[in-house]
Amino acid sequence: MLSDKELIEQLHAKLNELKSSQKLIERQQDELKLVNEKLAESEALKSHFISNITNEIINPFASILGLSKNIIAAKDSDIIKIKSMAELIHSEAFELDFQLKNIFTAAKIEAGEACPDYVKTDINLLLASIISAYKYKAEQKQLKINFSFELDKKLTETIYFSTDPEKLKLILSNLLSNSIKYSNAANKIEVKGWIDNNKLNVAVKDRGIGIDKKNLEIIFDRFKRLDSSINSINPGHGLGLSVTKALLDLLEGKIDIVSKRNLGSVFTISIPQVEGANTEDYAMDGNEFIFGDSDNEIF
Ligand code: ADP
């Protein structure tokens, strides 16, 4: 038989147990609420993304079809008009190709199917070809792209670096595309590459709208876009930097940002060289040189 005192003590203990499990339930309810809110936010972002990409795929296709039809119907003497229509077709197809590459890469990453494919790559040529590909877009905003590659004294003229060139290309295309999108017109963009400690570093600097400190982390979130007034005139769906970050993780690289609102941003990537890459040289696909084929013309 328990004494009254013991009974009261046991009741107190039970009451305390009950109170702490109630607290636990409350905490779990709060966490559940947070997860639900995040889920709702991600659902909203996803449905916005779907309607957004539908426009971004259908609209360029419509103009490519319309423009190519006009070219077919044009007279031979209209060569200037034909050329400018061909340039517009290229520009639309270029943007479409870029957006689709981001979408398919994001899908591969999500499915856990993305893995690096290392090749000995002529890094100077790779960088120059990416910049050349964006020259037309930059010119549309009267932007000048300066490119420099600092050679390590020990290296010969051609800089071979073992990495995954396709992934590196998509990473740098995203950074360069953003630097053009978020630059004010008639300004300068600088791309600087260097190798140090067996690491390839590339910095892309713009003098554009810049990013607030509080937003420096969230820009890597999938579908996240900042300034809606500026972004309503710029193509994109907030996928580029999340893909960039995931690809850098795959290559064991990292990214660093220095940015100031209304002054501009510098995005710097750094990736280590890998051992045991395929020794065959990486071959460019050649499409990059449509708008100019000499280095002087590019820079
Ligand atoms: P997108 O450019 O398609 O919107 P990203 O994932 O590439 O998507 O970038 C996410 C957001 O980060 C952009 O919407 C933009 O608000 C901001 N951002 C990215 N790069 C820059 C930059 N160079 N300057 C200013 N803002 C940038």
| Beta carbons within 8 Å of 243's beta carbon, 6+ residues apart | 102, 105, 106, 109, 170, 174
Q: Is the CB of 102 under 6 A from ligand 1?
A: no
Q: Is 252 helix (H, G, I), strand (E, B) or coil?
A: coil
pLDDT above 90 for 287:
no
Mean pLDDT of the chain, nearest integer: 87
Say how far apart CA 248 and CA 142 lie, in whole Å. Answer: 30
DSSP secondary structure letters along 53-82: HHHHHHHHHHHHHHHHHHHHHS-TT-HHHH
Q: Where are the domains of the chain?
A: 119-283
User: Is residue 270 within a helix (H) or strand (E), and if so which, with residue range?
Assistant: strand 264-272
The Å distance, Cα 102 to ligand 1 centre, comes to 14
- Show the beta-strand stretches assigned E in 75-175: 119-122, 144-150, 160-163
Residue in the block written with tokens 């996928």:
239
Q: Is the CB of 238 under 6 A from ligand 1?
A: yes
Protein residue whose Cα sits closest to atom 20 of ligand 1: 178
Pairing verdict, β 160-163 and 199-206: unpaired
| Residue 62 CB-density burial (10 A; 0-12 exposed, 13-18 middle, 19+ buried) | exposed
Q: What is the pTM of this model?
A: 0.80
Say how far apart CA 122 and CA 175 lie, in whole Å. Answer: 20
pLDDT, residue 225, reads: 83
pLDDT band at 47 (very low <50, low <70, confident <90, very high): confident
Which ligand 1 atom is at minimum distance from the Cα of 210? 25
Contact between residue 218 and residue 224 where contact means Cβ atoms under 8 Å apart: yes
pLDDT band at 32 (very low <50, low <70, confident <90, very high): very high
Name the DSSP letter for residue 287: G
pLDDT, residue 297, reads: 33
| Percent of the chain whose predicted confidence (pLDDT) is above 90 | 66
Residue to mutate, 182, 189, 231, ligand 1, most ligand atoms under 8 Å from C-beta: 182
Protein residue whose Cα sits closest to atom 1 of ligand 1: 238
Q: Which of 13-27, 37-51, 70-84, 166-180 has the lowest mean pLDDT?
A: 37-51
pLDDT, residue 288, reads: 45
pLDDT in tens, 182-236: 999 999 999 999 999 999 999 999 999 999 999 999 899 887 788 766 666 676 7
pLDDT above 80 for 64:
yes
* Sheet strand arrangement including 188-196: 144-150, 188-196, 199-206, 264-272, 254-260
CATH number for the region 119-283 comes to 3.30.565.10
**Nearest by Cα to 126 from 200, 180, 187:** 200
**Nearest by Cα to 101 from 239, 285, 284, 254:** 239
